[in-house]
Amino acid sequence: MAVVSLVAIVVVPIDIEILQRYFDRSFTMPPAAIAKVVVTMALLPLATGLAVRAMFLDAAARLVRPLTFVATVLLVAGALALRIAALPAVIQLIGGGTLVALTAFVVMGLVVGHSLGGPKAEEAAVLALSTSSRHPAIALAVARANFPDEPHLGAWFDIRPKHHHPSC
């Protein structure tokens, strides 16, 4: 995860350059902004977990199962709340092929990741999930930077009120 996140700092600007040339349009997303997303959303939580585990090995071993359960419950509850809040925007996307394209992208990522994951089922599953989800925070940051007024960006994740103050 850490390596892929660090690679994104270099690869995403290259991808943006390719998109600029393909669409003959200017896009923006400086590597520093990508690095900020990578550090805050991936590397900092990972480093914190590793540090806590190293400092409190016995406590970490005892707490791993209950904390994993609590984290899973909170993740599911949060994802469900976001899905419900974003449902009106998602419904507006039906019919234009957007949902079909997103579904195809995720399914393709699952298939490719699983097939490249090797013979161990656990490793194949991890690679499949990683490949299909990549890093949505980076994608949303790039999209927001280039299309700040688009109401449907991140329809699956965005729960901001429709009429929000610009300073929010």
How many Å apart are CA 148 and CA 164, to the nearest integer? 13
Answering whether pTM is above 0.75, one says no
- Residue 146 in this model has a pLDDT that exceeds 90: no
Rounded to 10 degrees, the C-alpha dihedral 105/36/6/11 comes to 50
The pLDDT tens digits for 84-103 are: 888 887 787 777 777 787 78
CA 42 to chain centre: 10
Instruction: Give the span between the Cα atoms of 53 and 46, in whole angstroms.
Output: 11
pLDDT band at 161 (very low <50, low <70, confident <90, very high): very low
What is the model's pLDDT at position 168? 38
Question: Residues 98-126: pLDDT tens digits?
Answer: 778 778 878 888 888 888 888 888 888 87
- Average confidence score pLDDT of the chain: 79
- One-letter amino acid of 162: K
User: For the stretch 30-53, what's the b/e string if a residue is b when 16 or more beta carbons lie within 10 angstroms of its beta carbon?
Assistant: eeebbbebbeebbeeeeeeeeeee
Q: Tokens representing 79?
A: 């994802």
Q: Give pLDDT, residue 1.
A: 66
> Which of the two residues, 75 and 162, has the higher pLDDT score?
75
**Euclidean distance between CA atoms 108 and 116, whole angstroms:** 12
What percent of the chain has a predicted confidence (pLDDT) above 70?
Answer: 86
Domain range list for the chain: 2-146
Between residues 135 and 78, the one the model is more confident about: 78
Name the packing angle between helices 136-146 and 31-38 (round to 10°).
Answer: 140
Cα 9 versus chain centre, distance: 14
